[in-house]
């Protein structure tokens, strides 16, 4: 039995340049590439144009929604400002009414004090 193996027998065949295959001429490569580009344009071109059109439409719709939302926000902001002004005016008016009521009550208390005579002290018999 021979324990030594021939290293070349187990090795896969190496790629050897053969005289039969010729390198492609750059013109052939360019022609093939242009054919591939033409096929790609035929197959994918309409889909890309359709998708691009859809994206443009989506952007337009989003811009319209943004404009509508901005108008609504501006109206809401104006209503909040109006509400704040009305609330402030009501608060000022209410504080004035409360002050007037306190003055009137104070005046009535003073009038009552004038009418009430002091009681004489109670004496024990």
Write the pLDDT tens digit of every residue in 29-85.
677 888 888 888 888 888 888 999 999 999 999 999 999 999 999 999 999 999 999
Residue 6 has pLDDT above 60, yes or no: no
Tell me whether residue 18 is in a domain.
no
Tell me whether residue 69 is in a domain.
yes
Residue ranges making up the domain that contains 58: 26-115
Write the DSSP assignment of 102-121 as a string of letters.
HHHHHHHHHHHHHHSPPPPP
pLDDT tens track for 73-123:
999 999 999 999 999 999 999 999 999 999 999 999 888 887 776 666 667
Maximum CA extent, the chain: 152
Residue 7 has pLDDT above 90, yes or no: no
Distance (Å, rounded) from C-alpha 69 to C-alpha 67? 5
Tally of domains in the chain? 1
Tell me whether residue 125 is in a domain.
no
Tell me whether residue 73 is in a domain.
yes
């Amino acid at each position: 039995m021979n324990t030594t193996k021939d290293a070349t027998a187990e090795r896969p065949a190496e790629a050897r340049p053969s005289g039969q295959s010729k390198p492609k001429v750059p013109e052939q490569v360019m022609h093939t590439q242009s054919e591939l580009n033409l096929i790609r344009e035929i197959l994918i071109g309409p889909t890309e144009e359709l998708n691009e059109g859809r994206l443009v439409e989506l952007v337009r719709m989003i811009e319209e929604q943004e404009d509508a939302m901005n108008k609504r926000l501006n109206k809401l902001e104006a209503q909040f400002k109006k509400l704040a002004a009305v609330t402030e005016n009501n608060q000022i008016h209410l504080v004035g009414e409360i002050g007037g009521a306190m003055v009137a009550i104070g005046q009535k208390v003073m009038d009552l004090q004038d009418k009430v005579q002091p009681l004489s002290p109670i004496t024990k018999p």
